[in-house]
Structure 1
């Protein structure tokens, strides 16, 4: 439930119409050995996740909440967007300019972008048309 940011008390199980109580086994719920049953996982989406602690400046949160307008007359939906923290490594310096006054580094755009091949087809490269 931590990955989904759902409160533990918002998750429940049902066996038929009966609500599954904590600490009960399948035998306590009336299921016989070898019997096939269908267990339903119920998530109450109306409950709000726990409030996050205030973040320190410069630290990325695990997720952000985005309010999205679903369309005319449909209202606003709250969507949680998870942030991939593996991309936090500092990018390599591949050339550019460093300002001596305050140390700001400006990267050359062409060194940060993969170059397009000059010829898209190998046989055209070796012809007299080029």
Structure 2
């Protein structure tokens, strides 16, 4: 998956640093946004191969961000993975209903995180992505 572009929409510096570090160590290209409106703008300006989306964001929560992202044709089929500390039984369902493809609980597990991300990018080659294996 070298070269895959992942947009991380996350307002917590430590979480952002950890995700960026893990992804870049495995050859991903990472861009970031610290709130929902900036994340939507970044995704539309330079369509990534995948979006990692925090749910507890300033200005606009991750549910609203996911719904807005799904309104745009270029982002409709893009993997959006909610990365959140919400861990109640119905939280996963809320994330998926808002448009997320998957849900990863915080704190993230550094041992399995990159494999989970790769799993969502498999099969996306040839769709205009920068992904190579």
The TM-score, its normalising length taken from structure 1, stands at 0.21
More helix by share: 2
| Higher relative contact order (CA closer than 8 Å, sequence separation 6+) | 2
More strand by share: 1
